[in-house]
Structure 1
């Protein structure tokens, strides 16, 4: 039977709704702070995805490095991650390519498709607008490979290292190294507020590591952490709000902080709220079903929703009022994602679970 944590489903569902709302908020709200609200919602949604990914794979990596046959289990771990993310990504990449070829060819005439297959479209440089939402997948896919291999190399140097020590050292390496890289890079890159370090994969590989840090505390310090989950929730929300205040108080002008330390503080703040959500329960079967369904199709929603948005932006639909477009956007996105999950994601997941078992 599938094991799911309701609180994590809530986070995943909230994250995808925030991302989607951030992209189409302009349909229903064009006030003075529309950019601020739209940016903040979509931005936080993606960061929540990063932390959740780290929490989930962190527990898996603890199991891998607690086993006697680390390399065999590590290969299965990476294959399972690839089977979960790559098939739908490659299908959507080709769909976006066809759409770009016939509807947006001038703006993205110089697209190097091979970079998207290797997830290097945003490794050191800001990627073209083509398949723009794939920037976060570049960060995730590189982390899925580089972080486990870093742990494996440490294990090879000292077979007596425990899983706790290996993961802890690995997390610290990633957290400090990529913070240092952002600090150094700020002097050489022409960073802006929106298109800054946020979407460059090489400088954001610590984003998921904060989730790994949370997973380590869940596993090795369970009682202490969850006894303090309300305090951690309050602290995390307080730090999150203050961190946002530091950015927006001067009309987004503090580019140094935003492109360097900001992401480390954000990661710690978001990771702090996870112990609370891990223990959240649901007594309503209807609400549980809804949240669980949104959570299951969230990956399809993420990859498909921008395609739906671009579709509604075609000149043929200019007669549709913006409020109606807002409703149609969510309706069509959920329909398309439901179909995608049923006929693409679910069969691949079943194959993965049948052929590449975790045990």
Structure 2
């Protein structure tokens, strides 16, 4: 495709469009009810990035001046100064403010951020044990990861196409359609993957590239056609004297583009399957605004105004600063900060962004190889710092962390051990075995069953007994259902353990537990072979109850008939408050008034589940029932505490910690061995 070099001047309206995008994102994060679709500002950035990168590459290729070294050197000088400064700031502030598990996670996210793979890191974390997105100070770097991965691959595609004399526009249209198709096909199947990974989002950046190709193409015929359309539309709207010089078509493009962007801000919210078709609004809107050109009235008067341009110029550091400044107060306070705190965070982000742009980013944009080398060295240093923080478990011996209870928080890789994986297999999410011998006690279910492993391990360490926990998160297969998207793995693991329980003579006790009251409303039926057949979903609550009754009864009959002791563990109280409010942490004293759950709330929360369970167990008087609330709650005082004898008994709002498992282990073990 023949292209001509377009030496058009800097377009302030594009900086103004950047301002719209970044302020939409900032306001959404700070005040989500004010602009519920503000997160689509990221999609506007994608279009702008695709437009600018394609324009630069094609102009340089046609001018014979394109160089990969020069291109990536410019990217480093554009991105690294502000990014490194903000990541170092997070390292320093996190040292004094975060607990070890939080700081360890921050270290991982710092390394993935400077390595431009944040989107992949957050995608890999999304799932059963993912901590809240609102507690990840660097979550917003996922979009930077997508952009930089695109910047790494796309110039190579254009350069190869140009060298082979291929039509660059055709290539881009092909990439656009392929990526958009992947997005639309998979948005309902694997929404997290579609949201985070480049192949599913590339079409948004390529849309800007296609626009750049169109604008940079030879313009004689195009300008003539545009002039005729302008005259035709202007004569319809204006009188003969007024239509001359009107940019009616450009204004229509601009107005339509702004309309689509605003529609995206207020028609899209977090309940929508996004990006999907919904992303068409901000993407197409951005394309039309840029296509309108800097002389369209909105572009010239609004987007090119000093305020919009100023915000646009600091948009990159503002994007980087705003999220950590909103998240750190949330982490420290243990709850959503007040409107005042969030407002001050936005103001602080604006000030710090201007300082970053003025004194760090702008001075580093120009210069030779020395500046680039320094930035690459600093980037590698920041990457190494993040790795060290992660590898050393967030440095738990920091002076700010003196409370021993903090070691109980979070998931620290204790879900599996090598002995269990080598001896039993690697297909389960949770795999622990206490001794290198055939187990006598088997835990079956989900993470709620697995959590009792540590207490039983403690109780049996001086005996000949061995404990095996081989379970799957989100898996209530012995009830006959699962909420896992890969429910086949749930069924496979459960069948394996049930066969083990029935056929291994060393197993004398089987402990069942799960958390079905959370996911029974969105459950996939599972067939354990009791004549139920396969089905896609439950037709009614009666159908669900009947299915559970058949499966549970079949499982219990088979296990009990083998002479095994069967124990069913009910759910521990679910905590509706932030667990870290229960301890003194950096910058905040513990709040005892926020550290407890009403026993009556626990009963009410699990009422339907417990009624179903009690009805099932009545049929099997041999089943021994263990209720952890008996030990964790004061029924008369209507209070359940996550702390006993100075020990933290929970690792999060749902799961017991190791200390919690050991606290209940004595009572559970006595029930197992009750004559």
TM-score tier by shorter-chain length is: 0.7 to 0.9
Which structure shows the higher helix fraction?
Answer: 1
Distance (Å, rounded) in 2 between the aligned partners of 1:104 and 1:230: 54
State whether residues 124 and 200 of structure 1, in contact with CA within 8 Å, keep that contact through their aligned partners in structure 2.
Answer: no
Cα displacement string for residues 257-304 of structure 1 (whole angstroms, at most 9, x for unaligned residues): x443443564233211223352232499xx843333222211111101
- 2:28 counterpart (22, 25, 29): 22
* CA displacement at 1:23 relative to structure 2: 0.8
The one-character-per-residue Cα deviations of 1:298-323 (angstroms, maximum 9, x if unpaired) are 111110112222344465799x9934
Which range moved further: 52-61 or 121-130?
121-130
Q: How does 1:124-139 map to 2 (within 5 A)?
A: 126=123, 129-139=136-146
Aligned partner of 2:156 among 149, 171, 194? 149
Task: Give a deviation string over 1:188-229, Cα, whole Å, max 9, x none.
Answer: 52x2xxx56233333212221111222222222563397622
Match of 1:106?
101
Distance 1:135 1:326 in 2: 22
Greater mean alpha carbon deviation, residues 303-312 or residues 8-17: 303-312
Q: Does 1:175 align with 2:194?
A: no
Match of 1:78 among 62, 72, 80: 72
- CA gap of 1:278–1:52, structure 2 versus 1, over 3 A, is farther
Distance 2:371 2:337 in 1: 49
Mapping of residues 79-98 of structure 1, within 5 Å: 79-98=73-92
Q: Secondary structure at the match of 1:350?
A: coil
Match of 2:310 in 1: 293
Among 231, 253, 278, the residue aligned to 2:252:
231
**Deviation for aligned residue 1:343:** 2.0
Structure 1 stretches of 5 or more lacking a match? 27-33
How far the C-alpha of 1:139 sits from its partner, in A, is 1.1
CA shift, 1:12, in A, is 1.3
Question: Counterparts of 1:127 and 1:336 in 2: how far apart (Å)?
Answer: 31
Residues 13-41 of structure 1: CA deviation (Å, up to 9, x unaligned) = 12221111111115xxxxxxx2xx54401
Could you say which structure has the greater relative contact order, defined with CA pairs below 8 angstroms and 6 or more residues apart?
1
Please tell me whether residue 325 in structure 1 is matched to residue 341 in structure 2. Answer: yes
| Corresponding position: 1:346 with 2:362 | yes
Residues 1:146 and 1:95: Cα distance change in structure 2 (over 3 Å): same
Equivalent pair of 2:122/2:139 in contact (CA under 8 Å): no
Q: Please identify, of 170-179 and 123-132, the stretch whose mean Cα deviation from structure 2 is larger.
A: 123-132
Normalising by structure 1, what TM-score? 0.75
**Residues 217 and 131 of structure 1: is their aligned pair in 2 closer, same or farther, counting only changes over 3 Å?**
same
CA contact (8 A) 1:55 1:215 kept: yes
Equivalent in the alignment of 2:42: 46
Match of 2:10 in 1: 4
Q: Secondary structure at the match of 1:119?
A: coil
Cα deviation, residue 63, structure 1: 0.8
Larger gyration radius, structure 1 or structure 2: 2
Conservation of the 8 A alpha-carbon contact between 1:54 and 1:209:
yes
Q: 2:283 aligns with which of 242, 255, 267?
A: 267
| Aligned-pair CA distance for 1:125 | 5.6
Change (3 A) 1:202 1:268: same
Superposition TM-score, scaled by structure 2 size: 0.43
Matched, 1:213 2:213: no
Aligned residues between the structures: 325
> What is the aligned partner in structure 1 of residue 116 from structure 2?
119
Give the aligned partner of residue 60 of structure 2. Answer: 64
The whole-number CA distance in structure 1 between the counterparts of 2:309 and 2:204 is 25
* 1:336 positional shift: 1.0
Q: For residues 44-82 of structure 1, what are the alpha-carbon distances to aligned partners after superposition, in whole Å with 9 as ceiling and x for unaligned? A: 221121112222222212212212354x3x432232122
CA contact (8 A) 1:179 1:264 kept: no
Q: CA RMSD in A?
A: 3.7
State whether residues 135 and 201 of structure 1, in contact with CA within 8 Å, keep that contact through their aligned partners in structure 2.
Answer: no
SS in 1 for 2:120: coil
Q: Distance in 2 between matches of 1:79 and 1:342?
A: 20
2:21 and 2:42 in contact (8 A); partners too: yes
For residues 308 and 130 of structure 1, what CA distance do their matches in structure 2 show? 8
Q: Unmatched 5+ residue regions in structure 2? A: 1-7, 126-135, 228-246, 373-675
